[in-house]
Structure 1
Amino acid sequence: MRPVTTTDHAPPATPVRALLPLIVPALVVGVGSSLLLLAVTAISTRFKNVLWEVLPDALGIGRYSSLWVIVMLTATGLAVGLVVWKVYGHAGPDPATMGLVDPPLPAPVVPGLLLAAVLGLAGGVSLGPENPITAANIALAAWLGRRAMRGTEADLWAGLAAAGTIGALFGTPVAAALILTESMAARPAPGALWDKLFAPLIAGGAGALTTVLIAHPTFDLALPELSGSRWGDIPAAAVVASLGALVGMAAVYAFPYVHAAFRKLRHPVVMVTAGGLLLGLLGTLGGSLTLFKGLDEMKVLASDPTGWTFPQFALMAVVKLTALTVAAACGFRGGRIFPSVFIGVALGLGFSALVPEVHPTLGVVCAVLGVLLAVTRQGWLSLFTAAILAADPHVFPLLCVAVLPAWLLVTGRPQMQLHDDGTSLR
């Protein structure tokens, strides 16, 4: 009998000829995903300038006065509610039931979904563009791709579009690879990991490079350097990340109840308009920095870490957390990553203001890590996002330690995503 060798049990290598035909489609999907993101961002930014600068100036009203904030958010809720009610496809499924990467929606739903997203981004709603843009790109890629390449599966195009969009959002394909790795772990399939990541990495790289070359985005908050780690930073990192996770979990546990309360209003126009009114009231309480998706606003906070007191930082974090919960539950279309990062930045700076021994950079990255773990339940995404906020290599080992106790607090708990019956996913 011939002796058994390790090569007898080795899985067959994926032929190069199976990967090469995916290069061009991956490049096209990646570039297209980035261009759609950039287009939506540009349109919403121009519309935001009209709503929050041109219009109030013409009317002689303060740009961020309490009256204008309430009027604008309520009007935004009314507009989005009308889109959800009347536009074909109702701007997609209930966003409370949707994740960042989901199966493709029907392509005709995309215009209404993007319109609702643009209105929310421009109107000051505390949600980001990531969920609707990713859903739109997946729907379009699956619809066009399966017509261009007969016999291909929708999952192929969904993976390429998700990678291209996430790469474009973060300006690097690394984030896309990390998120897709978690997805593949949840749905294991035979084959080498890098064979399965080959085309998505191309799409993510194309999307990232397109965004970087056109828009030059950056997540670096220009925080003070740590100048080396100290022994005391280890427990501080673990405590801050755990506190951030607990704060995020407060929103997660409240989410199904807030969602159920809005569903009692029944009509989408009433639900989203009521949500807009609540967001307007929250905006008057927390100030203008608690409006919008939070990317530009968190840079304002980080530019002056000592410019606010602990109660002020805490108030902004609580208001933003409440606004995120309300916006996601009442029917606005948007993502939760960017508002969660703002919450983490405010919390981290607040912890540093309360306990000066906690370095501001350490406080920010660890609090962001904790909040994102609770809200997204994606470890790699949370680690990556927290790390890119500070261009300081000393934060990496601290984050790798801090993620462990924070993950123990969130794993197995309800998620900030609901089943169709209104119960939380786990």
Structure 2
Amino acid sequence: MHISILGGGVLGVASAWYLAKSGHQVTVIDRQSSVAQETSHANAGMISPGYSMPWAGPGVPLKAIGWMMQDLAPFMINVKELDGYTLSWMMKMLANCNAKSYEINKARMLRIAEYSRDCFVDLRKELNIEYDARQQGTLQLFRKQKQIDALQKDIKVLKELGINHQALDMDGCIEHEPALANVKEKFVGGLRLPGDETGDCFKFTTELAKECEKLGVNFMMDTSIERLNESSGRITSVSTNNGTVKADAFLCALGSYSPQILKTVGIKVPIYPIKGYSLTLPIEDESRAPQSTIMDETYKVAVTRFEDRIRVGGTAEIASYNLECPEKRRASVDFVIQDMFPGATDVSKAEFWTGLRPMTPDSTPVLGGTQYSNLYLNTGHGTLGWTMSLGSAKFVSDIINNKQPDIDPEGLSIERYV
């Protein structure tokens, strides 16, 4: 069967890998000149099943107001970009800010994320891909005692879900991240998730694409997707600036841009582009650099160690499809790397980047089939596309192949929005 995959990010390339391995002829279409040039290019680098929790939860609206009022705001709304679609999406998200929805959504997210981590283990056994991978966990760092006091609720959830975790005092944090000894007056403790991993998503996607090419996958780059075409309940082709592409089946992995293409065949999917920023910096002093990933809970900024670089990612901005990269948005990520790891790097040498995270109102991706018998979705992963990438791709590949997926499909398809 010939399958056309729309989107050349980590979700599209991972899907191509599994589908090509199962014997299909695969074409990947993307508007960029090479893979992983948009959201997959410079994300925070965390593969964090233990951190897979919905944005929408009890008390989040009030917390969001507090975050916006901070000097170094981790969350902001660009009022110039507010429109009907944005407001509609925000209302849907607010509808999920209750205890019942939070528990349902969290269970769905963790189901995919934990499965995806297993898929990463399996893939490393099969392929020798170099992507600055480290399996040393995530350390959620707390600057205030009240954050420690509120920790028991999170620990209770982790215990119920069987997620390995360690509550650490200051000395325990320094044991796992020795460079924190230089700033021990800045924090009071942490929560370590030893099952989490790190890695450069761009490197991974690029190397996996090479493996896909060995299996015969065709990458149709510099090709803008304009619309899907349907007839008699099936998608017949996709129109692009380079002509019409026909296939037996189609998989949409276009992230934040999925709604724009899907609406051409009458499918409405509530995915919104949440804007994020990152810095990538060379390591200047190894002794002052992190070993894995630190999540600064106060500023919602992740500091992730690659081999000879540090990636600092944070900020959630509601700004529609605005891809401007104003210098003032560097404030929180600049501050955290200099405050927690002074001397580790030189911020003047940083590569500043912005990308759009495709977020659903319930934070769970949209996976599987649609009302069209040969159109499938692998999109809407929000900030966890890298974390959930292989698991989502394997799951959707099994659906396309009419195989029983390894995880329960309940609540993962677009049906939950119909």
Higher Cα radius of gyration: 1
Tell me the TM-score normalized by structure 1.
0.25
1 or 2 for the larger relative contact order (CA 8 Å, sep ≥6)? 2
Which has the larger share of helix? 1
Which has the larger share of strand? 2
Tell me the TM-score normalized by structure 2.
0.25
